[in-house]
Amino acid sequence: MASIFRRLLSIRKPKKVLTRKDSITGRNHTFEVPYLSRLDGNQLQPGQSLIARGYITGADGFIINLTSGPNVELDEDETGELDDRLLALRVDLTKGKVYLNACINGQWGKEAFVKQQYKEGDEFDIRVRCFEQHFEIYVEHKLIATFKHYVPMSNISHIYVTGDVRLYAVSWEGKLYNMPYTADIPGNFYVGRKLFVSAIAEKKPKDLTIDFFAGEDVPFKLCASFIQKKVTRCSEISGVKSSPETNFEGKIKFPLKAKRSFDILIYAADDKFLVFINDVLYCTFEHRMPAVKIERLQINGDIQLIGVHIK
């Protein structure tokens, strides 16, 4: 076991791989591992999610650990005491599996695994959503497992990622949101701002709507129909609705699926909104009024919100 972890903990110069890159979604910036970060602010709350995204640079795999402290690596002679790993997630490329376990007071629990094929050069999206009694683990937007806590999740203080990967982002997001979700936009949604929405579609979803308000007007309305499998855009200004637009970029007509997690990013460009779904440009919508007038947003539909924020 120790030799396996020493291989995973070793630092190697990553090979160059071809990935999707976009300055708006953040894929043009990556950072190296080992990555160790302390959770800021208060203890974890139910509904919060760890989101780890990046790409694979080698064949040895990688690990993502949620730990009770910063002691995450053995000494050079493979001695020393590691802090508890409340969740140890290990991706083994050669076996095509994701392993799940926990190590409390030096004692490992019963290891479980789920089949998942990755190869060098693949991008990955792994999410861990926290609840009072268990974690939900999503791999490539699909729920692959639930993992019961060995000790309270409030013991988690650090995130540790290492292995043959480079990272786009590692973040904690969200809480348990009430729907519909409504919020003012401090400083308004001026050109250059981005709205990030992370969510999970329900088992039998019907629709999802995101509305941007400027007073009583709706300069931009995005509606995704899971039944019709299409995404429409329109506006309603001074009581007049614009004709709905349903055209889309790329090959996938409707990238949202029931029981799957997803990300929507809406960017205010100079003359239009750019809509990205799971980091891929999906559609655009020309401004019907200056974006800076948008002061409020509302999200509704058959989803569980994971996180909402504006930059």
For residue range 224-249, what is the model confidence (pLDDT) as tens digits? 999 999 999 999 999 999 999 999 98
What does the buried/exposed string (b/e) look like for 137-174 if buried means 16 or more CB atoms within 10 Å of the residue's CB? bbbbbeebbebebbeebebbbbbbbbbbbbbbebbbbb
CATH number of 2-173: 2.60.120.200
pLDDT by residue (tens digit) across 108-161?
A: 999 999 999 999 999 999 999 999 999 999 999 999 999 999 998 889 999 999
| Residue whose tokens read 């800076």 | 292
CA triplet 196, 200, 205: central angle to 5 degrees? 120
- The yes/no answer on whether domain 181-310 falls in CATH 2.60.40.1760 is no
DSSP, res 8? H
Residue with tokens 């009583």: 216
DSSP-derived 3-state class of residue 248: coil
Six-digit token string for 90: 């290990």
Q: Which residues contact 175 (CB under 8 A, 6 or more apart)?
A: 45, 46, 47, 48
Is residue 158 a contact partner of residue 71, using CB atoms and an 8 Å limit? Answer: no
Tens-digit pLDDT profile for residues 198-221: 999 999 999 999 999 999 999 999
**Phi, psi at 7, each rounded to 5°:** -65, -40
| E strands, 175-269, in order | 181-184, 194-201, 207-214, 217-225, 230-237, 240-241, 261-268
Topology match between the domains 2-173 and 181-310: yes
Q: Take residue 52 and report the two structure tokens written for it.
A: 């780890």
**pLDDT digits 0-9 by tens, 19-50:** 455 556 666 678 889 999 998 766 778 888 99
Sequence spans of domains, the chain: 2-173, 181-310
